[in-house]
Structure 1
Amino acid sequence: MDFQNTREFAKQLDSQDELAKYRDEFIFPQVNGKDVIYFTGNSLGLQPKSAKKYVDEIMNDWASLAVEGHFYADKPWWDYHERFCQPLSEIVGGKPTEVGVMNTLTVNLHLLMVSFYRPTQKKYKIICEEKAFPSDQYMFQSQIDFHSKNIGFNSKEALVEIKRREGEHNIRLEDVLSKIEEVGDELALVLIGGVNYYTGQVFDIKTITEAGHKVGAYVGWDLAHAAGNIELKLNEWGVDFAAWCSYKYMNSGPGNASGYFVHEMHHEDAELSRFGGWWGHNKERRFLMEPVFDPAKSADGWQISNLPILSLAPYLASVNMFAEIGMQKLIKKRNSITSYLEFVLHEIDKEIEGIKFEIITPSNQQERACQLSVYLHGQGKELFDYLMKKGVITDWREPNVIRLAPVPLYTSFEDMYEFGQILKQGICE
């Protein structure tokens, strides 16, 4: 499509957008009496209007039923989490028995590493990407320190980071594959972010998973920036495990519960270590209060505690919206609106002499999702501050990068045009 940087053209695109109506399903903060242009769904999604209804339902059941709400609420609490299995399986490309919700993201990754990071003196290394999210880095360090003290391997050599080539912003697939082959028999685990939080680069999950398995390693994925954002086929690709937060692209509310995936090939592996808990016990026998842990033969077998129902309620509201729309429609709009934003940025480049926006997110749609990370050469944080005062909510990362995430559920093409005009004003003032 030949784009045009005009309001009329942007409105035309909005009139043709089959997802445009969903914008009205969200609550927008206001600045200067107007709805903001919201680019930070990659940090915290907007609140669905339906979220309050779902939470109020729990509160009313609690008030009227108290403990009996576990079994007699309209959506009984004891199996509330099971309502996520079908829609989440469609979002991440798994089977309903392979997905669940519990805890928060890093907690879930730690718990899954109990099962899938089992180092020995010879096979103990973890491969991750350079500039992984700090929480993942801290997790790796603490897991390695914990195991090395008991097993005796060299903890300083255990974490292997795949580097970007000098002068490049993104990691090449061939470098990931060659590093996996190089580490070889010493590799215990590959654990990478499916979408890099800083650059927005999407990794080839299928190919990397196959390479890790080829050398006998487990392969897991942190899908914090991927779930609800990119096409995933975790079962088909043979991914061992994955976890994701729900409050970014899936709009569940700040710090809310994490989703997780465990491939069906591991569900009945009695040799696989895990930390047990009451809610992971065989569901049919859970209330017999048996002394020996009998894990459920599904992803539920990794549950530990009963679920925080009040937290799950807004997540369910959003997940049901995803089920109504389907990932293919979201991805279609994601590609078109991100491409239009890219076009607008390049047009501003042309209009203002001496300004250069360097987009460090890959230009190939197969290698990017709902984010453009932009170097503001010649501009400082003052421009970011100007945008915020004008009601453009973006994310600043040092030294001079802004991350822009045009979430297809609630951003419009006219937002992209209006952002370009505000950006141009901020540079020229």
Structure 2
Amino acid sequence: MNFINELDFARQLDQKDPLRSFRDRFYIPQRNGQPLRYFCGNSLGLQPKAVRAALDHELSVWQNLAVEGWFDEDEVVRNKPWLTIHERSKPALAHIVGALETEVCAMNNLTVNMHLLLTSFYRPVGKRTRILTIGGDFPSDMYAFETHIRARSLNPDDVLIEVYPRPGHETWQMADLLRSIAQHADSLALVLFSGVHYYTGQVFDMAAVAQAAHDAGALVGFDLAHGVGNVVLQLHHWQVDFAYWCSYKYLNAGPGGVSGIFVHERHHASAAMLPRLAGWWGYDQSQRFAMTKGFVPMPGADGWQVSTPTVLAMAVHDTAVQITAEAGMPALRQKSELLTGYLYFLLGDIIRIITPEDPNLRGCQLSLLIPEQGKTIFDQLTQAGIIGDWREPDCVRLAPAPLYTSFEDVWEVGNTLRRLLARS
């Protein structure tokens, strides 16, 4: 598309946007009665208007049924009882991540799920002990790697392979990642890193990584904190072994919202034999209340559940993910490419953008490097009613999430930044 730096052009794009009505289903933050331009959905998504009713409904069930809410079908909206509340979001999650319903489950929080899945899928044997990841991935993932490696009496300095961008580059070349996987094929137990990098917004070719890892005889997983609800995923088709994500960014399920996992169906038959950290909520549901010894997991991804689900958080999660599934990931991705393309057009000639220019290599985030004046510019953006994200030492992240960001928002951000940069 040939973009034009004019407000009328941005408004024309909004009029043609097939997803424009979804914006009205979210609360847009305000200051002094005026809506803010919100570009921080990569950190915390906005509140869907429907979640208040969903919460009130579950509070009503608690009020009127108390403990029977776990077992009685909800007569008002025919919801499943709380005992099977994790099933409500399965169709939506399966669409969003490209999976079978049996391969996904909403539960816990992201790093907890990472630990649970590493327990099962990081299985060092003989000389196959090593984990390959990207250097500079999200710190929580690195802490988890370190503790799992040490728990197996291994040394992280010997076991963890970190692949960094080439000198002078901010992002990775896929050829370097695939080459490193091949080079370490004899010693790899696991390949695991973020499908979308939190700092740069770079999207990795997860299908190619999965193929390379399997060719090397290793298992493969992905942290999809910045990928879920952002880019089109086909985890089942790509033969990914496992994945995990949070829901409070692009899925808009609230601060600290319920996480989710994916476990490919080829691991389901042998699931009972996999090492794991088990709890009673992952136990065979038909026998759970028999309170017997000997862990028997539920079929599929559900068997990795540990604790009783937090019903109120699950209600918010289900309500939010239904909106993403309704919009559809292909349509969201198409709009995302236009939003980031327009922002790139407005800023690319005046500021250094480290997110790849190729839309196939980025999600709905652009990361801007502003040396020296960066924090001042960021604070001025905030004062101007534009909410982005600051990352030390000099990075401003802007994420035009397609469910609620308009092209007029993008135009306003682009031209405000031009003005601030010219003044500085």
TM-score under structure 2 normalisation?
A: 0.96
Structure 2 residues not aligned, in runs of 5+:
none
Q: How many angstroms apart in 2 are the aligned matches of 1:370 and 1:155?
A: 33
Q: 1:312 aligns with which of 311, 314, 317?
A: 314
Of 301, 304, 320, 2:303 maps to 301
Note if 1:165 corresponds to 2:170. no
SS in 2 for 1:161: strand
One-letter code of the match for 1:22?
F
Query: Are residue 3 (structure 1) and residue 3 (structure 2) matched?
Result: yes
Task: Give the counterpart of 2:129 among 124, 127, 146.
Answer: 124
CA contact (8 A) 2:85 2:311 kept: yes
- Distance in 2 (CA, whole Å) between partners of 1:357 and 1:425 is 12
| Contact 1:32–1:391 (Cα < 8 Å) also in 2 | no
Report the equivalent of 1:287: 289
SS at match of 1:48: coil
The Cα shift of 1:141 comes to 0.9
Unmatched 5+ residue regions in structure 1? 350-355
Corresponding position of 1:364: 358
Residues of 2 paired with 1:35 and 1:118: CA distance? 50
Q: CA deviation at 1:220?
A: 0.5
Q: What code does the residue aligned with 1:272 have?
A: L
What is the alpha-carbon distance in structure 2 between the residues aligned to residue 154 and residue 132 of structure 1?
19
- Identify the match of residue 416 of structure 2 among 410, 422, 427: 422
Distance 2:417 2:216 in 1: 49
Distance 1:330 1:177 in 2: 29
Whole-angstrom distance in 1 between the partners of 2:401 and 2:328: 15
Q: Deviations over 1:215-266 (max 9, x none)?
A: 2111010000000011111111110000000000000001111010000000
1:86 CA drift (Å): 1.0
SS in 1 for 2:352: strand
Asked if 1:322 corresponds to 2:320, the answer is: no
Q: Which residues of 2 match residues 29-428 of structure 1 at below 5 A?
A: 29-74=29-74, 75=79, 76-148=81-153, 153-269=154-270, 270-346=272-348, 349=349, 356-377=350-371, 379-428=373-422
**AA aligned opposite 2:192:** L
CA contact (8 A) 2:374 2:395 kept: no
CA–CA separation in structure 2 for the residues paired with 1:379 and 1:357: 12
Return the letter of the residue paired with 1:327: M
Distance 2:231 2:403 in 1: 13
Cα deviation, residue 73, structure 1: 4.8
Change (3 A) 1:382 1:32: farther
Number of residues of Structure 1 aligned to a counterpart in Structure 2 = 417
Secondary structure in structure 1 of the residue aligned to 2:237: helix
Decide whether the 8 Å contact of 2:28 with 2:36 is kept in 1: yes
**Which stretches of structure 1, 4 residues or longer, exceed 6 Å deviation after superposition?**
none
**C-alpha distance after superposition, 1:37-91 (max 9, x if no partner):** 1111000000000011111111111011100111225221111110111110010
1:121: how far off? Answer: 4.5
1:161 CA drift (Å):
0.4
Rounded to whole Å, the distance in 2 between the matches of 1:420 and 1:234 is 35
- The answer to which of 270-279 and 9-18 deviates more is 270-279
| Structure 2 partner of 1:352 | none
What amino acid does structure 1 have at the position aligned with 2:243? A
Q: SS of the residue aligned with 1:237?
A: coil
Residue 297 (structure 1) shift: 2.0
Q: For the Cα contact (< 8 Å) 2:346–2:415, is it kept in 1?
A: no
Q: Report the residue type matching 1:405 in the other structure.
A: A
Identical positions, percent = 49
1:353 matched residue in structure 2: none
- Could you report, residue by residue, the CA deviation over 1:349-381 in whole angstroms, capped at 9, with x for unpaired residues? 4xxxxxx41111111111111111111246331
SS at match of 2:71: helix
AA aligned to 1:211 is A
